[in-house]
Amino acid sequence: MQTFRPGQDGYAEEIAGFQTSVATQPAVVVAAESADDVVAAVKYAAEHELTVAVQATGHGLTAGTDGLLISTRRMTGVEIDAETARVEAGVRWGAVIEAAAKHGLAPLSGSSPDVGVVGYTLSGGFGLMARRFGRAADHVRAIDVVTADGELRTVTPGDDLFWALLGGRAGFGIVTALEFGLVPITELYGGGLYFDAADLPEVLRAWRTWAVAAPDELTTSIALVALPDLPFLPAPIRGKHVANVRIAYLGEDGDRLVEPLRTAAPVLLDTLKRLPYTDSGSIASDPPHPHPYHGTNATVEVLNDAMLAAVVEHAVPETVLIIDRLGGELARRPAAGAGWDSAAEFVVRALSVVEDDVDAIRRAHAKLFDALAPWSTGRLLPFLYGEHPAADLAATFPAGDRARLQQLKAKYDPAGRFG
């Protein structure tokens, strides 16, 4: 196990992650290679009264640290046994997708294969097949976790710590491995339809009507994105502000299903086709390079015309707006962990690249979410990006879950070692 302190060679590289807007200056970084290393790091932190933070990929950072940072990026073991995967803490979805495909299986991964399995799953995990199979968290069978007392425990469904970790994400321990179920999927119908953002009112209305009637086999979102004028992008969408309908469909009749959308407005680009699940990252084509971003969201039980008008009003090129259709299995299955509003039918997300003034971004996002407030039911932890105060994060949980999480925090981390 290597350790790094400020000023030492390798320190900056070890703490560098995907999210670059969160300022972090750990007193010591432990580059863990095994669960034993994590145990040693947590015990060291207790002896030296340091807080403990953890980073796999840096996609989901919401706070910096000045204590001990456990870097899990070297813990990359993946095992597939029957339809169960066991992965170590530093594994990214791409590695599981590849390994599972060899067995005719797929994980409940999300838009980007670069995101870390543990951070994603502990946030609930809203994936490309969520309306058919539910949250990634709902398929977890066992969690290996090092708690504040330096104990390595295995927790399973029914354990209070299992519930707290799955949804609570930070604050209860450092997960060293996860075991979860895979699904028998090898390919899907997926990709996107791109429209000019000028056609947004028509496209939004058509997408809403279509998405509400959609079968559970379809998981879909609509994203408003200002695309850069760069040669790697297809000419029809290069440098344009577009409305991108994203589709992941598990049925056989994808072309027929999508037909009503193709006539909503002139289609600039249509990338829909059958594709292997191993190419599922191409559906959203999330940016692969690290950058500074800030984001928030609101879950809603309806998406009425007044809400669509608010979205159109706030559809500026500086902000990526995404609306995901929830429902389906997400609504039926009781959440295995904390903090997921099963009654929500959509989640509206806003995300902006941080140039210099993050408060200006917060204010711009707040205008949209204030307009949606009469219909908002809560927020989803995975889609809070960049620095957020602890109270803001706690407020993502419904009051009942929040109280239970506080009790379990006092039980498993009484000294507040994990922040």
Ligand X SMILES: Cc1cc2nc3c(=O)[nH]c(=O)nc-3n(C[C@H](O)[C@H](O)[C@H](O)COP(=O)(O)OP(=O)(O)OC[C@H]3O[C@@H](n4cnc5c(N)ncnc54)[C@H](O)[C@@H]3O)c2cc1C
| Nearest to ligand X of 161, 265 (CB atom) | 161
Neighbour-count burial for 33-66, b at 16+ CB within 10 Å, e otherwise: bebebbbbbbebbbeeebbbbbbbbbbbbbbebe
Which among 26-34, 113-121, 258-266, 362-370 is the span making contact with ligand X, rule CB under 6 A?
113-121
- Between CA 395 and CA 381 the distance in angstroms is 10
| Nearest to ligand X of 98, 313 (CB atom) | 98
- Give least dist CB 94 to ligand X, A: 11
Chain positions 123 to 152 lying near ligand X, rule: CB under 6 A, are 123, 125-127
Which two three-digit tokens encode residue 327?
């429902």
Chain positions 249 to 278 lying near ligand X, rule: CB under 6 A, are none
335: DSSP letter: P
| Nearest to ligand X of 177, 368 (CB atom) | 177
Which residues are registered as beta bridge partners of 219? 248
Which among 116-124, 180-188, 223-231, 303-311 is the span making contact with ligand X, rule CB under 6 A?
116-124
The answer to whether 110 and 133 are in contact (CB under 8 A) is: no
Give the angle subtended at the CA of 340 by the CAs of 246 and 97, to the nearest 5°: 50
Instruction: Rule CB under 6 A: choose which of 254, 337, 339, 382 binds ligand X.
Output: 382
* DSSP secondary structure of 273-299: EEEEGGGGGGTT----S-B-EEEEEEE
Instruction: Rule CB under 6 A: choose which of 89, 96, 211, 310 binds ligand X.
Output: 89
End-to-end CA distance of the chain: 24
Chain positions 17 to 36 lying near ligand X, rule: CB under 6 A, are 17-18
What mask of x and - would describe binding to ligand X in positions 279 to 318, judged by CB under 6 A? Answer: -------x--------------------------------
Strands 241-249 and 174-181: unpaired
The answer to whether 169 and 119 are in contact (CB under 8 A) is: yes
| Nearest to ligand X of 163, 265 (CB atom) | 163
Q: Does 61 bind ligand X (CB under 6 A)?
A: yes
Contacts of 58 (CB under 8 A, 6+ apart): 16, 17, 18, 19, 290
| Nearest to ligand X of 219, 265 (CB atom) | 219
- Give least dist CB 225 to ligand X, A: 12
Q: Does 118 bind ligand X (CB under 6 A)?
A: yes
Tell me what percent of the chain is helix, strand and coil, each rounded to the nearest 5: 30, 25, 40
- Between CA 214 and CA 135 the distance in angstroms is 18
Nearest to 60 by CA among 381, 416, 310, 390: 381
Q: Give φ, ψ of 307 to 5 degrees.
A: -70, -40
Which among 170-178, 183-191, 362-370, 389-397 is the span making contact with ligand X, rule CB under 6 A?
170-178
Chain positions 308 to 367 lying near ligand X, rule: CB under 6 A, are none
Q: Does 122 bind ligand X (CB under 6 A)?
A: yes
Q: Does 111 bind ligand X (CB under 6 A)?
A: yes
Nearest to 172 by CA among 146, 194, 154: 146
Q: Does 110 bind ligand X (CB under 6 A)?
A: yes
- Give least dist CB 16 to ligand X, A: 11
- Give least dist CB 184 to ligand X, A: 21
Q: Does 58 bind ligand X (CB under 6 A)?
A: yes
- Give least dist CB 110 to ligand X, A: 2
Identify the three-state secondary structure at position 259. helix
| Nearest to ligand X of 148, 264 (CB atom) | 148
Instruction: Rule CB under 6 A: choose which of 15, 28, 31, 54 binds ligand X.
Output: 54
- Give least dist CB 18 to ligand X, A: 6
Instruction: Rule CB under 6 A: choose which of 60, 168, 192, 281 binds ligand X.
Output: 60
Q: Does 175 bind ligand X (CB under 6 A)?
A: yes
The answer to whether 280 and 188 are in contact (CB under 8 A) is: yes
Contacts of 134 (CB under 8 A, 6+ apart): 108, 329, 330, 332, 333
Residues at the contact surface with ligand X, assessed by CB under 6 A = 17-18, 54-61, 72, 89, 110-112, 115-116, 118-120, 122-123, 125-127, 169-170, 174-175, 286, 382
